[in-house]
């Protein structure tokens, strides 16, 4: 099999898995059976259906996974037609960094301090899909060398997400993660956590960008 065809299939498997998991979770919510990590026990007594949907799509886990499978789907097609550019690689790097953070934050900050129902979707979104996209970034062809200043583009989405989460939380008195919740930790510690995650993401992206560019191999 040609290399570009392998990566096309690999990325579309990722796309299919990622999309399937989100659809699976949406069906659970529609059936009022959403008991995964994205719907905590506080939601159990909530009767407004909109609450479940807004809560679900307000998690970084869900958003980063959606970004991940969309990017993998498009870039799978791009690699098949041998379309490469720095912009595409920056978008790939962004998706890889976001999903890496999803996996690391879950396993290092959330699991030790909370209880979770380990089901299919939790494993897929926090372990398997992050590992798959990391492998894709490290092993798949890439046509450009990303500079340090290019990684600053990665901060746009996390900053928007954190701002949205804090503003929404101030109105509904509920935050997607404990390290954003002023009732759980001090504002100073919230700042430390958030700046730490942003800084770690930037460091991670700069480590990822050091991998050498490799052209698409057609045969």
Residue 40 has pLDDT above 50, yes or no: no
Question: Is residue 52 a contact partner of residue 35, using CB atoms and an 8 Å limit?
Answer: no
Q: What pLDDT, in 10s, does the model give residues 49-73?
A: 777 888 899 999 999 999 999 999 9
Q: Using alpha carbons, select from 199, 163, 204 the residue that is nearest to residue 180.
A: 163
In terms of phi and psi (left: phi > 0; alpha: psi -120 to 50; beta: otherwise), the region of 172 is alpha
Q: What pLDDT, in 10s, does the model give residues 1-19?
A: 468 889 999 999 999 999 9
Q: What pLDDT, in 10s, does the model give residues 188-213?
A: 999 999 999 999 999 999 999 887 66
Helix 156-172 to helix 187-208 angle (10° resolution) is: 160
Cα 97 from Cα 94, distance rounded (Å) = 5
Q: What pLDDT, in 10s, does the model give residues 13-39?
A: 999 999 999 999 998 888 865 444 444
> Hey, which bits of 11-62 come out as E strands?
none
What pLDDT is stored for residue 109 in this prediction? 78
CA 5 to chain CA mean position, Å: 25
Q: Is the pTM of this model over 0.85?
A: yes
């Amino acid at each position: 099999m040609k290399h570009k065809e392998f990566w096309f299939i690999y990325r579309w498997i990722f796309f299919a898995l990622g999309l399937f998991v989100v659809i699976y979770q949406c069906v659970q919510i529609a059936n009022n059976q959403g008991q995964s990590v994205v719907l905590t026990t506080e939601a159990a007594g909530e009767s407004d259906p909109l609450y479940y949907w807004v809560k679900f799509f307000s998690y970084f886990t869900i958003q980063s996974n959606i970004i991940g499978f969309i990017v993998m789907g498009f870039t799978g097609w791009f690699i098949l037609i041998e379309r490469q550019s720095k912009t595409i690689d920056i978008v790939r790097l962004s998706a890889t960094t976001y999903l890496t953070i999803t996996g690391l934050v879950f396993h290092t900050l959330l699991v030790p301090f909370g209880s979770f129902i380990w089901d299919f979707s939790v494993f897929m979104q926090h372990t398997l899909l992050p590992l798959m996209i990391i492998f894709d970034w490290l092993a798949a062809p890439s046509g450009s060398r990303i500079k340090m200043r290019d990684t600053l583009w990665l901060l746009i989405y996390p900053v928007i997400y954190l701002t949205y989460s804090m503003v929404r939380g101030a109105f509904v008195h509920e935050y997607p993660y404990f390290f954003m919740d002023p009732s759980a930790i001090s504002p100073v510690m919230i700042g430390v956590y958030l700046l730490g995650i942003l800084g770690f993401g930037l460091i991670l992206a700069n480590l990822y960008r050091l991998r050498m560019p490799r052209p698409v191999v057609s045969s």
